[in-house]
Amino acid sequence: MATFTALPIIAVFSYVFVPAPEVWAHLFDTVLVDYISNTLWLMLGVSVGVLLIGIPAAWLMSMCDFPAQRFFEWALLLPLAMPAYIIAYTYTGMLDFAGPVQSLIRSLTGWGYGDYWFPKVRSLGGAITMLSLVLFPYVYLLARAAFLEQSICVLEVSRTLGANRWQSFFRVALPLARPAVITGLSLALMETVADFGTVQYFGVSTFTTGIFRTWFGLGDHAAASQLAALLMTLVLVLILLELWSRQRARYHHTSSKYSRIPKYQLKGWWAIGAFLVCALPLALGFIIPVAQLVYWGISTAHLTLDSSFWELVLNSLILAALAALSALILALILGYGKRINPDPMVKTATRIAALGYAIPGTVIAIGVLIPLAWLDTQLNILAKYVWGTSVGLIFSGSLLTLLYAYNVRFLAVSLQTVEAGLGKIKPTIDNAGRSLGLGSVGVLRYLHLPLMKGTLLTALLLVFVDVLKELPATLILRPFNFNTLAVKAYELASDERLAEAGLPALMIVAAGILPVILLSRSIATSRAGTSSS
């Protein structure tokens, strides 16, 4: 299974040694510097954005009490349900020259084109803003979990040593939460590097758009694969640098005693400030875009609500359900295999199988196409030799190819959830099942699966929603005359039919809300010493 999921990555790296001097010379002279610089600036900008939004919100939710605080605890996760490319379409429709905001400015002031300055939405800064607004919940989620899990004794000791509340936060709580914060930041950056729809629509040249253009525009598979390998190397270097930066550090809560956190009661301007810190990213990252999508969806329902739309919905749901189910089965086999046979070889294979989540969908799509296209070519050569006719694209032109790519990309999501669920089941349960005559499969079927119903549902939902939102892999690998909601929204937005893209986009967002609620409930009961009831 590790080989099965790693094959696309191996295929991409295998093209590093294929010469493509003319295309590389063209890329180097024209756009390669832009690809590198824009990707790095995008990552830097999103890093600053998600940290500035996510950490203060997590600290306020964990340690303070102010109006609407309980509402913000779960609502701040809602932007996770909003794909970056959809929020990009929404704000473009609202803030472009012909949009309602600038139209209102001109009607109130009498200004015309060129008489006033307005920030350009379709720009690198706009892409950084859009991605930051939907990715900050990764940092918020994990930082809040880390703050909740910290022993209050540590914070109280810092206060007895003369530290005020700000110093306790910056010198004690935040350093202890660093691994969680960095993990959340890493997830946000992986999504940033993997993004295609936002940067493509905003006209920002990054590695993902460059790979797409080189593959389809220049028709050079070797150069596109080499660009993909370069992007994967960049992601790997960043991960290794982060690990190296804290290799000598150790993070302990220093106490096993937990008690209810005495939350600070904020009043007056402090309460207003805390409310705004939480309300602004929620409004900008979810409420305003959803309101615009609802308006567009209602106003264009007579154009979009036809049989072809429901066919899109059915295609998307079936594809996402099949991908989620197959990823869950693979995750159960890998996770349970690691549990009953935790030797280094199995652990290494499991880690390799989970590598795909760090790889952008564009790269995985190319990695999947390379071996399957070769296999189709060989089959057609054989068919012509034996029967005198070709058999067509059996593998590279089918839904199986798309499902394969989804499993490579999102197996890690399902695997991590399943492993967390298995980790909560004591080994004595396995021993009791064995003593009753059950084999390994019997223990899994009759004992583990009933105990893990909630975990399995969570794993299914997370992959289901990720597949619904996935754009680049679907765009590249989908069979002819087969569309999904994500692809349809992208096509309509590319044709500047933003209002008509509202209903498909709204369906994707609506599907993503349920897993967000489940995540919110799990984080609310994560503090040691609290009841899960």
Length of the chain: 533
Q: In this structure, what token pair is assigned to residue 401?
A: 């190819």
What is the per-residue pLDDT for 130? 94
Burial 337-352 (b: 16+ CB within 10 A, else e): ebbeeeeeebeebbee
- 3-class DSSP state of 378: helix
The parent domain of residue 318 ranges over: 2-524
Domain contains 55 = yes
What is the per-residue pLDDT for 253? 47
Domain contains 341 = yes
Contacts of 338 (CB under 8 A, 6+ apart): 346, 347, 350, 419
> 264 has which bridge partners?
64
What is the per-residue pLDDT for 226? 81
Domain contains 247 = yes
What is the per-residue pLDDT for 150? 62
Q: In this structure, what token pair is assigned to residue 189?
A: 């950056």
Contacts of 14 (CB under 8 A, 6+ apart): 225, 370
Q: In this structure, what token pair is assigned to residue 475?
A: 């765009």
CB neighbour class for 164 (10 Å; exposed up to 12, middle 13-18, buried from 19): exposed
* Locus of tokens 């992601």: 235
**Cβ–Cβ < 8 Å for 209, 200:** yes
What is the per-residue pLDDT for 530? 45
**pTM for the whole structure:** 0.82
Domain contains 229 = yes
Gap between the Cα atoms of 347 and 343, Å rounded: 6
In total, how many domains does the chain have? 1
Contacts of 210 (CB under 8 A, 6+ apart): 27, 31, 32, 35, 227
Domain contains 317 = yes
What is the per-residue pLDDT for 128? 94
Separation in Å, CA 487 to CA 124, 158, 237 = 23, 53, 32
H, E, C per residue of 63-114: HEECCCHHHHHHHCCHHHHCCHHHHHHHHHHHHCCCCHHHHHHHHHHCCCCC
Gap between the Cα atoms of 429 and 434, Å rounded: 9
What is the per-residue pLDDT for 527? 46
- 3-class DSSP state of 20: coil
Separation in Å, CA 400 to CA 395, 397, 478 = 7, 8, 10
> With the CA atoms of 452, 458, 462 and 463 taken in that order, what torsion angle do they form, in degrees rounded to the nearest 10?
40
What is the per-residue pLDDT for 533? 34
Domain contains 203 = yes
> Per-residue pLDDT for the chain (533 aa), expressed as one digit of tens each?
778 888 888 888 777 777 767 777 777 778 888 888 999 999 999 999 999 999 899 888 877 888 888 888 888 888 888 888 999 999 998 888 888 888 888 888 888 877 788 888 889 999 999 999 999 988 888 888 777 766 565 666 666 666 666 666 666 676 777 777 887 888 788 888 888 889 988 989 888 888 888 877 777 777 877 888 888 777 777 667 666 655 555 544 444 444 555 677 888 888 899 899 999 999 999 999 999 999 998 988 887 777 788 888 898 989 999 999 999 999 888 888 888 887 888 888 887 787 777 677 888 888 888 888 888 888 888 888 888 787 777 777 788 889 999 998 888 888 888 887 887 788 888 888 888 888 888 888 888 888 888 778 878 887 888 888 888 888 888 888 888 888 888 888 888 888 888 898 888 888 888 777 776 666 555 444 444 33
What CATH number corresponds to the domain at position 44?
A: 1.10.3720.10
Domain contains 53 = yes
Domain contains 532 = no
**Cβ–Cβ < 8 Å for 408, 8:** yes
